[in-house]
Amino acid sequence: MPPPPELIGVLSQFNPWWRHDPIADLPTWKRSALHELRLWLKNPPNHRAILLSGCRQVGKTTLLLQSIQELLMDGVAPANILYVNFDHPVLLLSGIDAAVDAWRQREPRVDGPEYVFLDEVQFVNHWDTWVHKQVDSVRHRRIVMACSAMPICTSNLNGTASRWHTIRLATLSFYEYLQVQRAGVPPLPKLGDLARLFDWTTHEFLRVQEFGKAYSGHFHEYLVRGGFPQTANVESISQVQRVLREEIADKLLKRDMTTLFGVRRIQDLEHTFLYLCLRPGLLDMLSLCANLQVKRPTAQHFLTLLEAIHLIHRLPPHGYGKQVQRARYKIYLTDAAFAGAMMMRGKSLLDDPAALDMAAETAVFKHLHLRYGAKARFSYWRDGNDRPIDLVEQTGGPLVPFTIKYRDMHSGHKELKGLLDLCAKKQINRGYAVTKSVSDFGEVPTTKQHRTKVMQIPAPLLCYWLGE
């Protein structure tokens, strides 16, 4: 039975390479995640599908199309590539099987692997079952899915999650943002591993301090604008913040929550997100419940949903078992610009030291998570004297602590005492103090009492290197 003409027409529109037409309007810049996606497409370590997960408007569709363009440039037959976007009503109503059948009737298979790209797959019923069967039975077909909501991707799937490798796509890193902006900043030396800074000479630090001054202004603009590709080159900050609030956050909260999760209390969920935008950092559940006038399980469910659609991260305290379960979580927005955008604050963030410090801390966490998230465990530390360590990263080996001091005042031993005490207690050999001024860059001299090596590193430089 031939496929419906409207289905063939829509698929042809989304797959111009079948007609040997170019893919229109692709940007020339490329995300760092493209390299990982390309590796899994061309030389997969094992036979699994690929799940690309990230917030709305973060660039998932662009990444898929750039991958298709590279496959075509590598000589893959156009007939062996299918792209389906289930945001289109005809494709959503038809389903995956009908789209695949129509593709194969429109474009008979050529020798070689087949590539199937499924965009906004979270809207399709039982998509996970389809992927499970395909991975197990069709060995020549490589499947890439893009998804905007994590619980729909990772829970209640009866073990099918083992059939795919997940790539999480965050908003633009500071490095990527500068590429999109085409900012004319002096190039910084390649770093790779932060630990290499401890081997630098005084000359190297002074040279980067000189170059790094050009990065601070761009970093502040980045904190206000955020890392969404569509807002990177919008001139008006008020327009940027309107897009973040109305085109991204509102659609996530009001459309996706109803469609994907059947949430009815949308206003309460929106108020939860607004509360977290006003009070990011260490979460006070009693205050949250009192403000929302809801019980604790309801508030916790709202937090789970907000994390699911990539609006927040929850960071536990360092520890294990009941020690963590009973403690307070720390809340980070997934992009520092959300807080100002939801309140339409313009650039007033830059005149508020406490808000600017929190925005910088949010950006630092995002970049650490971007670089090490797939293999690292993140937490925060709070000792008995209430001296917090903002971030603790552990990647199989020793702990690596980060304290953020994004202020004009120079950080000395007194300000770093919490970091030094933690390192002494846990026998940690290195830690990092993230600073504001580019001149605060270099190793902090330590006393005989504290043998830990501490590196002061300005936030703009740290985020640049982590985002490369």
Are the beta carbons of 428 and 400 closer than 8 angstroms? yes
Position 363 pLDDT exceeds 90: yes
Q: What counts of helices (H) and strands (E) characterise the chain?
A: 20, 14
Q: Give mean pLDDT, residues 99-106.
A: 95
Q: Which fold has domain 5-169?
A: Rossmann fold (3.40.50)
How many Cα atoms are found within 13 Å in the side-chain-facing hemisphere of 428? 22
The full set of domain ranges for the chain reads 5-169, 176-466
Residue 67's pLDDT is what? 96
Average pLDDT rounded to a whole number, residues 230-254 = 87
Q: What is the pLDDT of residue 409?
A: 66
In this predicted model, what pLDDT tens digit does every residue of 297-330 receive, in sequence order? 999 999 998 998 899 999 988 876 555 556 789 9
Q: Which residues pair with 22 in a beta bridge?
A: none
pLDDT of residue 325: 55
pLDDT of residue 156: 46
Strands 312-315 and 330-333: antiparallel
Count of Cβ atoms closer than 10 Å to residue 365 Cβ: 25
Distances (CA, A) of 70 to 24, 45, 307, 374, 389: 14, 19, 32, 25, 43
pLDDT band for position 155 (50/70/90)? very low
Radius of gyration of the chain (CA): 24
373 to each of 280, 398, 410, how far by Cα in Å?
20, 16, 30
Gap between the Cα atoms of 46 and 32, Å rounded: 21
**pTM, whole model, 2 decimals?**
0.89
Cβ-based burial of 86 (10 A; exposed 0-12, middle 13-18, buried ≥19):
buried
- Chain centroid offset of residue 54 CA: 6
Greater model confidence, 122 or 362:
362
Is pLDDT above 70 for 413? no
Work out the end-to-end distance of the chain between its first and last CA atoms, rounded to an integer number of angstroms: 50
pLDDT per residue as tens digits for the range 257-303: 777 777 778 888 899 999 999 999 999 999 999 998 989 999 999 99
Strand 453-458 with 430-435, pairing: parallel
Q: What is the pLDDT of residue 152?
A: 47
46-55, 64-73, 156-165, 188-197, range with greatest mean pLDDT: 64-73
Mean pLDDT within 439-449: 79
